C-alpha cells in the first residue's frame, strides 16, 4: 500500500497526490479547488460538504474503494442529526484521504457559486462578494508578549485567511474585547474587501461561529423610480425586490428641471438630497421586511444612477451638470460609509459602492447597463436602450462602444400620463385593442389573466385596476395606432371618425377610454391626447439619441436591439417598433432585458472583480453629448410621427400594417383611409 | 561659452551641470536638494528663496560671475515690494542659471526645516509633517474627454507633486467644483499623508493660492493633567502651550480607581469618555485663542497617554486593563478622524494620531518618551523617569531597553496635597529653606523673583500666591528634610523640636507654614504631615519601579538619569535625589528633560517618519509588569524613608549632609541630633 493517494476533484478535474490522512479540505485548498469554508476546517460551518464517488472511474483511470476516506465521524454525525445533510455527503474538513478517490464538489459548496438570473437573457453571476463572513481563532493575551486583542485578531486573519492589514473602526474596537471573551477566543468577522487600494475592513463581529446571513442591496436610483433587489451575500439569491417613486419628482419631473430648481432655490439641493436618502431608507426597510430579514443585516449597497441623481444622493450641488461642459464633481467609482449618506436603516457599518460615471450626462446607470449587457463583447452591432426618464443608450460591438443619454422625460415611467402610475400591483402593464371592434383588453401587474377573462374581477379583487404603468402606456398607444384610433401624427380620432364610443371628446381633443371602473368605485382610465403627445416627445428623444450614436458609428442599421428599463414588466419589442422608439431591426433581434441597470448593480454587489472590470471599461466607452449636438434636434423633430417614417421600418412592415388614417383636431369629419 | 553650467548648492554640497536657462528650483529638484516650494515653481509662494554667492570660491573650484543668474525679474520685484525679501535673495523658480554658480539654501527655504527645542536637552526635529499645503493647477473639464473635477485634481497632484491615489471625503467633493472655478482652475490642498498603507487624503481646499497657516496639536493626556502644544505645521514653531486638569479626577484620582468606577457603575466609561473629550475641546479652543489662531485651522492632533486614558478617550471600556493579563483592546498606533472622538473644536476634517502602546500598563506616553529621549541610541545605561500620576520608567542603552509603569498617584502633580494645585501662574514651583533660620523663600510660576525680593509682591500682584505645584512640593519636602524639619521617617517636628514657629500643630501631627497670605486675603500654604506621607508613597512607587527594571537588567547602578514630567517646571535633580525618588547617580548625570512625553508627541506631529520609527521601536522594548511582580512590593516597602537608605546614595552624600533627626508623633521632646 502506497503512502499517498490520488485525489481527483470534479467538476474542476483538478488532481494531485496527498499523504494518507490528508483532510479533503486541505487537499482542495492545496490544489486551488473551489471548496467553501467559513470556519476554516473546524467542523462548525458545514460549508465544505463534498460527495465522494466510489467504484470504477474509467475516465479518470481510478477505482475508488469503499475505505478511500476515513469513516463517518462524530462531528459529521452531530451536524447531520442537528441540521440534516444529504445522504452520501461528507464534511471535507473531517473526511481524510486513505486511498485514491474522486470527490465531487456540489455547487452549493463552491465559494464562487454561480447564480442564474431569472430574466430571459440569462447570465450567470460568479459569487465573489466584497463582504463575507470569516471564522477565526484568536490567540489569548499573554502578559509577557503584550499585544492588543485587535492585533492578535489581525494576525489570525492573516494566518488563517490570508487577509493582511485589516482595519476596524472604533465601534468594532469597543465591542472586540467582550466578544472575544464570550466566544472563548473565537470570532466570526464580516470582512469587507473593497477594490483598489482600500485596506480590508471589519464591518461586524460575532462571538464564536455566526451562522446567520448577511445581505446586500442593489439599487437602481432613477429620476422617477427607485428599484432595489435584496440579495443574500453568501449565495447571491435575490430574497426580495421592490421599488418606490423618487420623491424628488415634486421638485421637477425631469433632471434638468431639478437642476433648475437648485439654481433658483437656495438650499434646494440639500432638500432634494434629504428626500432621496429618506426614500432609500424607507425602501430598504420595506424590502427587508418583504424578504423577512433585519435591515441591520444589510452590510453593503451598490447604487447605480444618472449623474444628477448621483450628485444629489452624495449631496453635491448638480449645477455644473446643467451647463456645458457638464463637468462631474467626480467621475470615478465612489466607495463610502452608508452613514455618510445617512442611510441609517442599513447596518451602521454598511458600505456603499457607486459605479463610475461615463460622462456628465451618462452615468453610473449606463455603466451598469454596460456591465450587465456587455456590448463590448458582442460580435454583432448591438443597440442597448435603457428606457427611463433619462434614457441610457449604448451602441457598439467588440471594436467600439458609444454611449449617450437622452432626456426622454418621465412618460415612459407612467409620469406625466393622465392615468399613469408606477409599476405596482393594479397597474395596467399589457394592452391589446381589437382592430375591428376597437375594444381593449388588458392585464394588470399582480395577475396573469386578461381583463376579458371571466375570473379577472376576482383575481384582481385585492389590487383593483389602479392606473397604467410605463409598459402599459407604450402598448396602449401602439395598439391605438394599429387599431386606427390614432393617426401617424399622433391625433386621436373622434367617435365618428373611429366608429367607437370609447373615443370621447375632452375639450378640443379626444381621449380613449381604456377602462371604466367608476361603477365599482374605481377609476376611469383614459389615454388622452396629452398622453399621446408625451409619449411622442419621449420616443422622439429616444430615437434621436439612438440615431445620433448610429451617425457617430457611421451605420444605418443595427444587428440587434436590447430594450431595458427599470419600470416593471418588460417592454414589448413589437410595440416599441410600432411607436418608432427604436431604429428598425428584425423583430426576432429585438429583445427585452428587464432592468439591465439593476442587474448591473447586482453583479457589482455579488462580484467585487466586476467593479474593477467596469471601472476599466468605462474609460473605453466613447461618449456622445446629445445636449450640444445639432443633429440630435434634427433627429428629434423628424421622429415625431408614429412611426416617424414608414420607409425607415422595413422590418416593421413585415409584421404589421398600420392603417393610413388622418384626423384633424375638430374631429368633425371622417378620417380618410388610404392603403399604400 | 559652454552650453551648460555648474551649479553647486550649499550647505548640502550637491552639484551638477545644467543647460543654461535652467531655473534654480529645477536644478535643486533634479539634484535632490532640499529647497521648499508650495506653489510648484510658479512665483506665488516665495518659499524657494535662495542666496546666490558671487566671486571666487576656491573650495569649490569655481568663480561666479555677476551674470551667473538671469536678472531680477518682475515677479521677484512684485513679491519683494508687497511682502519684503532679504537683500541678495532671489526666488529659485525665477532665477535661471546662466553660468557656474554657488547657491546657498537658507534654513527657512528648506522643506525639512529643523526646529530647535527650547528645553535644556536640545534636540532638533526635522520637519516632515503628515499634513502639508500643496498648490496645484488643475486641467479644465473637456466635454469630449469627460472626467470628473476630482479625477483631474488627483491627476494634477500626481503629476505636479508625485502624490498618487489621493482620496477625499464627501465634504471636499461638495466644495470642489465652486472652489476650482473661483480659483480659476488653481487650488491649494491640505494633504494628509498618513503612515502605513493609508491613502493620501485631502483634508481641505482653498481656491487659488492659500497663504495661511495650518496647525497641529501635540497632546499629552495624563491622568491628572492634560498638556498641549499648538504648532505651526509649516515650520514646527510652538505658538502656544497650555494645560487643564483632567476632569476625570472626580471619578477617581488614579487609574485603577477609574477602572473600578467603570466596573461599579454601568455607563461610567461613557461618562468619563465624554468629559475627557470635552476637556480636550476646551483646551484646543483656549490654546488656539492664546496662539491667536482659529481652532478650525488645526488639522491634526497627536495624542499620547497611558493605556487607561487611551481606552477612555477612544470610548473603549478599560475593564480588561484592571486585571491580569492586562489586555489592551488595541496596542498599535491609532489613526482616525477627530470627529470620531467628537473633537468638534478642531477642523472638521482633522485627523488624530495616537502613538502605539507598549503594553497594558505601559502606554503611548511611554512610547512618546522613548521617541523623545531615545534610550535605545544611548551608549550609557540611562534611566528615564516620566513623573506623573502614573510614572513611565524606561531603562536601557543601545543593547536593550526595558519599560514599566508605576502607580505613583497624583501627589507629584499637586493633587492629594493639602495646598496642591496644577502648575499654573501663582503656583509655588521652587522652594528653599534656610537650614539655620528655617525660613523659606520660594518662586511662583509667572515670575522670576524669589519671594524675599523687595519687588516680589508687585511682580506677583496679578497671579498672587495660590498654592503649590508638583515640582514645588518635591522641593519643599526635600528642603524640609535638609533643614532638619522632617526626619528620615518622614515625620515633621514640632516647634520645640525644630526651633521654628513655622512648625505648627495640626491635631496629633505638625505642619510647616510655607506662606501665610491671609493678611492680604490670600491662602495659608502649608506642608502637612499628610502631604509628606503622600510624597513618600509616590516616591517609593517611583523608586521601586526603577529598581525593578535594574533588577531585570541585572545592574546596581545607572550611568545617567533623566527626569521628565508634564507638570510645569522641571524637577530639580538634587531634590529628587534627596527624596530618594531615583536611584543614586552623580548629580551631574541627573538631568531634567521637561515634558518628554509631550515632546515625543510634538516630534510625531512634525515628522511622519518618526511615527514609523516609534511603531517599530515599541516592539523592541521589553516590558516589565509591576502589578504582579512581588519584588516591586518589596522595593516599595523598603523605600519609605527619606532617602530610604543613605548607604544607597553615595553620590548624594557628596553634595549634601542630611541632619540625623528623629521625631515622634507627640512632638513633646527635643529631636536628637546625631551626625554620622
Tell me whether residue A23 is in a domain: yes
Q: Which among B138, B140, B142, B143 is the top mutation candidate for probing chain A, defined by the most A β-carbons within 10 Å of its own β-carbon?
A: B143
Nearest CA in chain B to A625: B143
**Which of the two residues, A368 and B43, has the higher pLDDT score?**
A368
Q: Which among B147, B155, B158, B179 is the top mutation candidate for probing chain A, defined by the most A β-carbons within 10 Å of its own β-carbon?
A: B147
Whether B147 sits inside 8 A of A317 (CB atoms) is no
Contact of A265 with chain B, judged by CB distance below 8 Å, is answered with no
Burial category of A144 from C-beta neighbours within 10 Å (exposed 0-12, middle 13-18, buried 19 and up): exposed
Residues 6+ apart with CB under 8 A from B573: B561, B563, B587, B590, B591, B592
Tell me the three cell numbers of residue B102: 554657488
Q: For residues B580 and B643, is the Cβ–Cβ distance under 8 A? A: yes
Inter-CA distances, B654 with A654, B153, B651, Å: 118, 68, 5
The phi and psi torsions of B163 (rounded to 5 degrees) equal -110, 100
Tell me the three cell numbers of residue A72: 463517518
Whether B173 sits inside 8 A of A623 (CB atoms) is no
Inter-CA distances, B358 with B64, B317, B377, B503, B598, Å: 56, 19, 18, 45, 17
Distance CA B66, CA B52 (A): 10
Question: Among B109, B132, B162, where does a domain finish?
Answer: B109
Average pLDDT over residues B146-163: 94
Q: Nearest Cα to B643, choosing from B550, B493, B539?
A: B539
DSSP strand E in A100-195: where? 101-104, 114-116, 124-126, 131-137, 167-168, 186-192
Span B317-364, pLDDT tens digits: 999 998 889 999 999 999 999 999 999 999 999 999 999 999 998 999
The phi and psi torsions of A399 (rounded to 5 degrees) equal -85, -40
Tell me the three state secondary structure of residue B154: helix
Average pLDDT over residues B41-69: 85
Q: For residues B545 and B405, is the Cβ–Cβ distance under 8 A? A: yes
Nearest CA to CA, how far is B534 from chain A (Å)? 30
- Residue whose C-alpha cell reads 420607409 in the numeric block: A647
Residues 596-655 of B with CB under 8 A from A: 623, 625, 628
Within 13 A of B440's CA, how many CA atoms are on the CB side?
Answer: 29
Tell me the three state secondary structure of residue B593: coil
In this predicted structure, the answer to whether residue B410 has a pLDDT above a threshold of 50 is yes
In this predicted structure, the answer to whether residue A589 has a pLDDT above a threshold of 80 is yes
CA angle A15, A18, A23 (to 5 degrees): 100
Q: Which among B201, B330, B356 is the top mutation candidate for probing chain A, defined by the most A β-carbons within 10 Å of its own β-carbon?
A: B330
Of all residues in chain B, what percent carry a pLDDT higher than 70?
A: 95
Whether B329 sits inside 8 A of A150 (CB atoms) is yes
Nearest CA in chain B to A312: B174
Q: Nearest Cα to B514, choosing from B429, B414, B442?
A: B442
Span B158-212, pLDDT tens digits: 999 999 999 999 999 999 999 999 999 999 999 999 777 678 999 999 999 998 9
Span A622-644, pLDDT tens digits: 999 887 888 999 999 999 999 87
Judging by DSSP bridges, how do beta strands A90-91 and A101-104 pair with one another? unpaired
Q: Are residues B225 and B174 in the same domain?
A: no
Q: Which among B175, B307, B329, B348 is the top mutation candidate for probing chain A, defined by the most A β-carbons within 10 Å of its own β-carbon?
A: B329
Identify the CATH number of the domain in which residue B282 sits. 3.30.420.480
The rounded Cα A659 to chain-centroid distance in angstroms is: 38
Residues in chain A: 676
- Interchain CB contacts (distance < 8 Å): A and B: 140
- The helix (run of H) or strand (run of E) holding residue A170 is helix A170-182
The rounded Cα B256 to chain-centroid distance in angstroms is: 25
CA angle A571, A575, A579 (to 5 degrees): 115
Span B565-599, pLDDT tens digits: 866 557 889 999 999 999 989 989 999 888 899 99
Nearest CA to CA, how far is A196 from chain B (Å)? 10
Q: Are residues A412 and A526 in the same domain?
A: yes
Span B225-266, pLDDT tens digits: 899 999 999 888 899 988 888 898 888 877 888 888 888 888
The predicted structure's pLDDT at residue A646: 64
Whether A148 sits inside 8 A of B329 (CB atoms) is yes
Contact of B176 with chain A, judged by CB distance below 8 Å, is answered with yes
Most confident of A14-23, A254-263, A484-493, B75-84: A484-493
**pLDDT class of A1 with cuts at 50, 70, 90:** low
Average pLDDT over residues A247-259: 83
Average pLDDT over residues A566-582: 83
Long-range contacts of A437-440 (CB under 8 A, 24+ apart): A437/A500, A438/A483, A438/A485, A438/A498, A438/A499, A438/A500, A438/A502, A438/A503, A439/A500, A439/A502, A440/A476, A440/A479, A440/A502, A440/A514, A440/A515
Question: Among A109, A130, A160, where does a domain finish?
Answer: A109
The predicted structure's pLDDT at residue B646: 64
Query: What's the pTM?
Result: 0.82
**pLDDT class of B44 with cuts at 50, 70, 90:** confident
Contact of A164 with chain B, judged by CB distance below 8 Å, is answered with no
Question: Among B78, B109, B140, where does a domain finish?
Answer: B109
Contact of A3 with chain B, judged by CB distance below 8 Å, is answered with no
Q: Are residues A482 and A560 in the same domain?
A: yes
Q: DSSP for B489-549?
A: T-PBP-HHHHT-TTEEEETTEEEEEEEE-GGGT--EEEE-HHHHHHHHHHHHHHHHHHHHH
Residues 6+ apart with CB under 8 A from B181: none
Residues 279-318 of A with CB under 8 A from B: 314-317
The predicted structure's pLDDT at residue B668: 45
**Which of the two residues, B233 and A566, has the higher pLDDT score?**
B233
The predicted structure's pLDDT at residue B108: 78
Average pLDDT over residues B530-543: 94
Q: Are residues B191 and B163 in the same domain?
A: yes
Q: DSSP for B394-429?
A: EEE-SS-EEEEEE---GGGGTTTSTTB--S-TTEEE
Q: Nearest Cα to A259, choosing from A331, A321, A330, A328?
A: A321
What average pLDDT does chain B have?
Answer: 89
Span B437-492, pLDDT tens digits: 999 999 998 889 999 999 999 999 888 899 998 889 999 999 999 999 999 999 99
The predicted structure's pLDDT at residue A666: 52
**pLDDT class of B123 with cuts at 50, 70, 90:** low
* Helical H segments across A292-363, by residue range: 307-314
Tell me whether residue B674 is in a domain: no
The phi and psi torsions of B495 (rounded to 5 degrees) equal -60, -40
Average pLDDT over residues B107-113: 72
The predicted structure's pLDDT at residue B7: 92
Q: Are residues A303 and A392 in the same domain?
A: no
Distance CA B526, CA B520 (A): 16
Nearest CB to A148 within list B149, B328, B628: B328
**Which of the two residues, A222 and B329, has the higher pLDDT score?**
B329
Which of A187-196, A601-610, B98-107, B192-201 is predicted least confidently? B192-201
Q: Are residues A635 and A657 in the same domain?
A: yes
Tell me the three cell numbers of residue B561: 538619569
Q: Respond yes or no on whether the N-terminal peptide bond of residue B397 is cis (omega within 30° of 0).
A: no
Distance CA B447, CA B470 (A): 17
Tell me the three cell numbers of residue B435: 537650614
Spell out the SS3 assignment of B290-303: HHCCCHHHEEEEEE
Tell me whether residue A359 is in a domain: no
Nearest CA in chain A to B143: A325
Q: For residues B314 and B334, is the Cβ–Cβ distance under 8 A? A: yes
Tell me whether residue A287 is in a domain: yes
Q: Nearest Cα to B330, choosing from A356, A496, A173?
A: A173
Tell me whether residue A180 is in a domain: yes
Q: Are residues A219 and A260 in the same domain?
A: yes
Burial category of B316 from C-beta neighbours within 10 Å (exposed 0-12, middle 13-18, buried 19 and up): buried
Which of A248-257, B386-395, B645-654 is predicted least confidently? B645-654
Inter-CA distances, A30 with A15, A21, A92, A333, Å: 10, 14, 13, 35
The predicted structure's pLDDT at residue A669: 43
**pLDDT class of B625 with cuts at 50, 70, 90:** confident
In this predicted structure, the answer to whether residue A352 has a pLDDT above a threshold of 90 is yes
Q: For residues B613 and B371, is the Cβ–Cβ distance under 8 A? A: yes
Cβ-based contacts of A338 with chain B (< 8 Å): none
Nearest CB to A143 within list B319, B325, B329: B325
The predicted structure's pLDDT at residue A671: 42
Whether A325 sits inside 8 A of B360 (CB atoms) is no
Tell me whether residue A592 is in a domain: yes
Q: Nearest Cα to A358, choosing from A581, A597, A564?
A: A597
Backbone φ/ψ region at A630: left (φ over 0), alpha (ψ -120 to 50), beta: alpha
Residues 6+ apart with CB under 8 A from A264: none
Nearest CA to CA, how far is B360 from chain A (Å)? 7
Distance CA A347, CA A219 (A): 16
Nearest CB to B143 within list A148, A173, A324: A324
What average pLDDT does chain A have?
Answer: 89
Cβ-based contacts of A142 with chain B (< 8 Å): 325
Of all residues in chain A, what percent carry a pLDDT higher than 70?
A: 95
Tell me whether residue B8 is in a domain: yes
Nearest CA in chain B to A627: B143
Whether A165 sits inside 8 A of B197 (CB atoms) is yes
Identify the CATH number of the domain in which residue A179 sits. 3.10.20.880
What are the residues facing A432 on neighbouring strands? A441
Q: Are residues B145 and B182 in the same domain?
A: yes
Q: Which among A138, A145, A148, A273 is the top mutation candidate for probing chain B, defined by the most B β-carbons within 10 Å of its own β-carbon?
A: A148
The phi and psi torsions of A553 (rounded to 5 degrees) equal -80, -20
**Which of the two residues, B235 and A216, has the higher pLDDT score?**
A216
Which of B82-91, B499-508, B551-560, B658-667 is predicted least confidently? B658-667
Q: Are residues B406 and B545 in the same domain?
A: yes
Q: Which among A165, A173, A201, A329 is the top mutation candidate for probing chain B, defined by the most B β-carbons within 10 Å of its own β-carbon?
A: A329
Q: Are residues B425 and B497 in the same domain?
A: yes
Overall number of domains in chain B:
5
Inter-CA distances, A167 with A150, A183, A243, B331, B533, Å: 9, 21, 35, 13, 47
The phi and psi torsions of B499 (rounded to 5 degrees) equal 75, 20
Contact of B330 with chain A, judged by CB distance below 8 Å, is answered with yes
Identify the CATH number of the domain in which residue A97 sits. 3.10.20.30
Whether B174 sits inside 8 A of A315 (CB atoms) is yes
Nearest CB to A177 within list B314, B327, B358: B327
Other Cβ atoms closer than 10 A to A473: 31
* Residue B669 DSSP label: S
Average pLDDT over residues B515-523: 89
Tell me whether residue B592 is in a domain: yes
Distance CA B449, CA A581 (A): 94
Span B259-296, pLDDT tens digits: 888 888 888 889 999 999 999 999 999 999 999 999 99
Cβ-based contacts of B177 with chain A (< 8 Å): 316-317, 319-320, 327, 329
In this predicted structure, the answer to whether residue B37 has a pLDDT above a threshold of 90 is no
Within 13 A of B390's CA, how many CA atoms are on the CB side?
Answer: 28
Average pLDDT over residues A275-282: 96
Q: For residues A521 and A528, is the Cβ–Cβ distance under 8 A? A: no
For CA atoms A535, A539, A542, A548, the dihedral sign is negative
ipTM of model over 0.95:
no
Domain that holds residue A201: 114-207
Q: For residues B614 and B590, is the Cβ–Cβ distance under 8 A? A: no
Q: Are residues B290 and B141 in the same domain?
A: no
Nearest CA to CA, how far is B364 from chain A (Å)? 13
Q: Are residues B450 and B569 in the same domain?
A: no
Amino acid at each position: 500500500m502506497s503512502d499517498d493517494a490520488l485525489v481527483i476533484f470534479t467538476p474542476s478535474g483538478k488532481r494531485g497526490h496527498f499523504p494518507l490522512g490528508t483532510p479533503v479540505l486541505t487537499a482542495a485548498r492545496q490544489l486551488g479547488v473551489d471548496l467553501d469554508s467559513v470556519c476554516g476546517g473546524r467542523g462548525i460551518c458545514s460549508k465544505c460538504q463534498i460527495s465522494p464517488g466510489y467504484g470504477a472511474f474509467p475516465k479518470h483511470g481510478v477505482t475508488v474503494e469503499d475505505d478511500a476516506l476515513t469513516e463517518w465521524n462524530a462531528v459529521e454525525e452531530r451536524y447531520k442529526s442537528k441540521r440534516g445533510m444529504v445522504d452520501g455527503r461528507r464534511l471535507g474538513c473531517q473526511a481524510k484521504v486513505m486511498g485514491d478517490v474522486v470527490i465531487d464538489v456540489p455547487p452549493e459548496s463552491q465559494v464562487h457559486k454561480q447564480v442564474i438570473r431569472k430574466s430571459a437573457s440569462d447570465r450567470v453571476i460568479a459569487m465573489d462578494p466584497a463582504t463575507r463572513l470569516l471564522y477565526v481563532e484568536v490567540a489569548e493575551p499573554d502578559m509577557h508578549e503584550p499585544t492588543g486583542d485587535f492585533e492578535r485578531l489581525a494576525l489570525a486573519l492573516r494566518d488563517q485567511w490570508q487577509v493582511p492589514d485589516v482595519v476596524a473602526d472604533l465601534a468594532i474596537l469597543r465591542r472586540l474585547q467582550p466578544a472575544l471573551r464570550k466566544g472563548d477566543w473565537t470570532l466570526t468577522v464580516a470582512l469587507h474587501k473593497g477594490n483598489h487600494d482600500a485596506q480590508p475592513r471589519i464591518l461586524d463581529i460575532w462571538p464564536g461561529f455566526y451562522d446567520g446571513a448577511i445581505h446586500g442591496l442593489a439599487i437602481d436610483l432613477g429620476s422617477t423610480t427607485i428599484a432595489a433587489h435584496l440579495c443574500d451575500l453568501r449565495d447571491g439569491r435575490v430574497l426580495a425586490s421592490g421599488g418606490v417613486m423618487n420623491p424628488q419628482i415634486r421638485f421637477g419631473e425631469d433632471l434638468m428641471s431639478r437642476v433648475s430648481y437648485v439654481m433658483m432655490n437656495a438650499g434646494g439641493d440639500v432638500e432634494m438630497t434629504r428626500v432621496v436618502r429618506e426614500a432609500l431608507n424607507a425602501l430598504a426597510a420595506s424590502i427587508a421586511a418583504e424578504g423577512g430579514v433585519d435591515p441591520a443585516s444589510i452590510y453593503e449597497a451598490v447604487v447605480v444612477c444618472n449623474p444628477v441623481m448621483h450628485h444629489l444622493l452624495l449631496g453635491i450641488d448638480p449645477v455644473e451638470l446643467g451647463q456645458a461642459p457638464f463637468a462631474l464633481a467626480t467621475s470615478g467609482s465612489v466607495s463610502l460609509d452608508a452613514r455618510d449618506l445617512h442611510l441609517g436603516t442599513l447596518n451602521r457599518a454598511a458600505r456603499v459602492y457607486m459605479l463610475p460615471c461615463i460622462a456628465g450626462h451618462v452615468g453610473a446607470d449606463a455603466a451598469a447597463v454596460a456591465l450587465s449587457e456587455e456590448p463590448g463583447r458582442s460580435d454583432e452591432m448591438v443597440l442597448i436602450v435603457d428606457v427611463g426618464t433619462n434614457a441610457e443608450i449604448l451602441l457598439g460591438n467588440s471594436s467600439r462602444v458609444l454611449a449617450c443619454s437622452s432626456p426622454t422625460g418621465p412618460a415612459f415611467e407612467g409620469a406625466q400620463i393622465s392615468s399613469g402610475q408606477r409599476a405596482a400591483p393594479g397597474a395596467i402593464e399589457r394592452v391589446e385593442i381589437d382592430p375591428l371592434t376597437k375594444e381593449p383588453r388588458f392585464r394588470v401587474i399582480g395577475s396573469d389573466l386578461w381583463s376579458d377573462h371571466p375570473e379577472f374581477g376576482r383575481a384582481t379583487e385585492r389590487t383593483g385596476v389602479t392606473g397604467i404603468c410605463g409598459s402599459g402606456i407604450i402598448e396602449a398607444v401602439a395598439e391605438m395606432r394599429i387599431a386606427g384610433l390614432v393617426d401617424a401624427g399622433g391625433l386621436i380620432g373622434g367617435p365618428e371618425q373611429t366608429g367607437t364610443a370609447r373615443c370621447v371628446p375632452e375639450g378640443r381633443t379626444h381621449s380613449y377610454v381604456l377602462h371604466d371602473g367608476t361603477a365599482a368605485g374605481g377609476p376611469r382610465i383614459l389615454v388622452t391626447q396629452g398622453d399621446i403627445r408625451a409619449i411622442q416627445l419621449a420616443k422622439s428623444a429616444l430615437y434621436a439619441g439612438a440615431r445620433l450614436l448610429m451617425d457617430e458609428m457611421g451605420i444605418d442599421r443595427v444587428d440587434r436591439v436590447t430594450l431595458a428599463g427599470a419600470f416593471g414588466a418588460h417592454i414589448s419589442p413589437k410595440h416599441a417598433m410600432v411607436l418608432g422608439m427604436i431604429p428598425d431591426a428584425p423583430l426576432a433581434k429585438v429583445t427585452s432585458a428587464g432592468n439591465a441597470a439593476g442587474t448591473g448593480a447586482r453583479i457589482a454587489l455579488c462580484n467585487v472583480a466586476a467593479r474593477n472590470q467596469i471601472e476599466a471599461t468605462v474609460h473605453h466607452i466613447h461618449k456622445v453629448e446629445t445636449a450640444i449636438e445639432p443633429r440630435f434636434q434634427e433627429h428629434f423633430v423628424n421622429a415625431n410621427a408614429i412611426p416617424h417614417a414608414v420607409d425607415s421600418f422595413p422590418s416593421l412592415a413585415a409584421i404589421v400594417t398600420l392603417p393610413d388614417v388622418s384626423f384633424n383636431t375638430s374631429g368633425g369629419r371622417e378620417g380618410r383611409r388610404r392603403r399604400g
